[in-house]
Amino acid sequence: MAHDPDQSSRGVHADAHRHAIDADAVQSRARAYATSKGLPFTAMRQRVLALLAASGKPMAAYEIAEKLSDARRVQAVQVYRALEFLQEAGCVHRLASQSSYFACDHLHGNGETVVFMVCSQCGAVQEAASDLVARGLRGVAKTTGFKPLHPIIELEGECADCTSEPVR
């Protein structure tokens, strides 16, 4: 995917009422990852990803297990296994601030620094890459001799939708 090296940030499309993710796109990315690793993109993995994509919002692992349960009960551990695969594939991220998981729109290149903006009203998550943030982080790391490997950047706040029209 093309970068904007000139811009300090790349905004997420501000579609106010988009709550779902492009399921096909994310699914083919997962499939591509599976193929590249010689691993199967199994039914369980597809089901978890499809559910998250359709939801468009973060879900707890047990919540996923519940939704996927029909005649047969889906156990949490099965969901965690699928989530692990999907996270490695870059199709799903974990929100550390609330121990939940969500499907991710876009491909994150190499060491791209992504900010998750989590709305405390409606729960929606937006992602945005920011070169400025990335440089800032490299900066503080450098001054302390710290070698950063994996950044976790989450903003809790209120999304545009909820600011303009307060919830229920």
80, interface contact from a second copy, DNA, none, CB < 5-8 Å by kind: DNA
Residues 128-167 as b/e (b if ≥16 CB within 10 A, e otherwise) read bbbbebbeebeeeeeeeeeeeeeeeeeeeebbebbeeeee
CA distances (Å), 102 to each of 7, 108, 139, in order? 26, 15, 29
49 CB contacts (<8 Å, ≥6 apart)? 23, 26, 27, 30, 82, 86, 91, 92, 103
Rounded to the nearest whole angstrom, what is the least distance from the CB of residue 120 to DNA in the complex? 14
The residue (of 29 and 45) whose beta carbon lies closer to DNA is: 45
80 binds a second copy (CB under 8 A): no
Rounded to the nearest whole angstrom, what is the least distance from the CB of residue 40 to a second copy in the complex? 30
- Contact (Cβ atoms closer than 8 angstroms) between residue 33 and residue 88: yes
Positions that interact with DNA (CB under 7 A): 39-40, 42-45, 60-63, 72-73, 75-78, 80-82, 85, 94, 98-100
158, interface contact from DNA, a second copy, none, CB < 5-8 Å by kind: a second copy
- Contact (Cβ atoms closer than 8 angstroms) between residue 68 and residue 74: yes
87 binds a second copy (CB under 8 A): no
Amino acid in position 161: D
Site for a second copy in 98-117 (CB under 8 A): 115, 117
139 binds a second copy (CB under 8 A): yes
149 binds a second copy (CB under 8 A): yes
Residue numbers at the binding site for a second copy (CB under 8 A) = 8-9, 11-12, 14, 96-97, 115, 117, 119-120, 126, 128, 130-137, 139-141, 143-160, 163
